[in-house]
């Protein structure tokens, strides 16, 4: 696994590739991360992330490999990828969609364990009543990501 770190509007963001797919992401730098992509997959990952942060990309086309996770966590992570750009779901709604309506807290745990944040958009999951609760990258980053997506979605809808 090789890490590449890039500057973004939410601070340094690191992405890991295994030569053929994205297999990790992290808010902040990672030890021994390269500052320039080292192979075709990391070049694609950095290019797509830069386009996403610039408001030019709304759907990632990156090959992704999730290296770990329980069956429930993987179901939650798959559901996250189905939340449209610029939209949100509550933890309870995601729990219902994965077949366990009482598992809102477990959805929160799965969000916290998401190994590929931003690409697998855990920031699109919010608390009941629209409350912004919990985010592994910090609520300030969650707000910036949601504002980015909402602004781009509105601009596209009105143009």
Catalytic residues: 122
The CA distance from 133 to 85, in Å, is 19
| Helix%, strand%, coil% for the chain, nearest 5 | 40, 15, 45
The CA distance from 25 to 34, in Å, is 14
Q: Which long-range contacts (CB under 8 A, 24 or more apart) does 130-137 make?
A: 130/88, 133/108, 134/108, 135/111, 136/27, 136/111, 136/112, 137/10, 137/27
């Amino acid at each position: 696994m090789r890490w590449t770190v890039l500057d973004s509007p939410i601070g340094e963001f690191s992405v890991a590739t295994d030569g053929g797919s994205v297999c990790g992401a992290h808010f902040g730098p990672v030890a021994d991360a390269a500052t320039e992509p080292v192979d075709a997959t990391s070049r694609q990952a950095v290019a797509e992330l830069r386009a996403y942060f610039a408001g030019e990309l709304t759907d990632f086309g990156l090959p992704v490999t999730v290296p770990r996770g329980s069956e429930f966590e993987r179901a939650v992570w798959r559901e996250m990828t189905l939340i449209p750009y610029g939209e949100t779901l509550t933890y309870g709604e995601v729990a219902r969609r994965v077949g366990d309506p009482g598992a809102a807290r477990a959805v929160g745990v799965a969000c916290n364990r998401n190994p590929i944040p931003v690409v697998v958009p855990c920031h699109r999951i919010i608390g009941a009543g629209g409350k912004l609760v919990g985010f592994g990258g910090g609520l300030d980053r969650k707000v910036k990501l949601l504002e980015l997506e909402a602004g781009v979605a509105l601009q596209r809808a009105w143009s």
